[in-house]
Amino acid sequence: MSEHEAYDAFTRGHELLRSRDFHQAAVAFQRARRLEPDKASIREALGRAYMGCRDFARAREEFAAAVDLGPTDGYAHFGLAKALERLGATDLAERHFRLAKCFQLGLG
């Protein structure tokens, strides 16, 4: 039952992201995360919603969780890098930008 509810919340969150309603997307993804906390796709999507809300600290947390769950996910590394960059951690951001590029190109 909760897996179905998580999927519905995840799908709704993506619809809201597409319409650029970042705050409501974050609410939907938070619900999905509560139901399925170990799904990297949910954590990554929540990070995207937080970036849209300009909540870079929370975005960093979610992208970091997505990287922990999927260490070769180039997009999660890219999102983490962008959040770190916005928070002023440029050295660490650069590391994740490089990792994102490697995994995107299949070099990782």
pLDDT-derived band at 106, boundaries 50, 70, 90: low
Largest CA distance in the chain: 43
Expressed as residue numbers, the domain containing 28 is 2-104
Tell me how far apart the alpha carbons of residues 50 and 108 are, in angstroms, rounded to a whole number. Answer: 27
pLDDT, residue 55, reads 98
**Are the CB atoms for 31 and 9 separated by under 8 Å?**
yes
Tens digits of residue pLDDT in 1-23 = 577 999 999 999 999 999 999 99
Place of tokens 């769950």: 69
Tens digits of residue pLDDT in 10-66 = 999 999 999 999 999 999 999 999 999 999 999 999 999 999 999 999 999 999 999
- CATH assignment at residue 59: 1.25.40.10
pTM value? Answer: 0.92
- Tell me how many domains the chain contains: 1
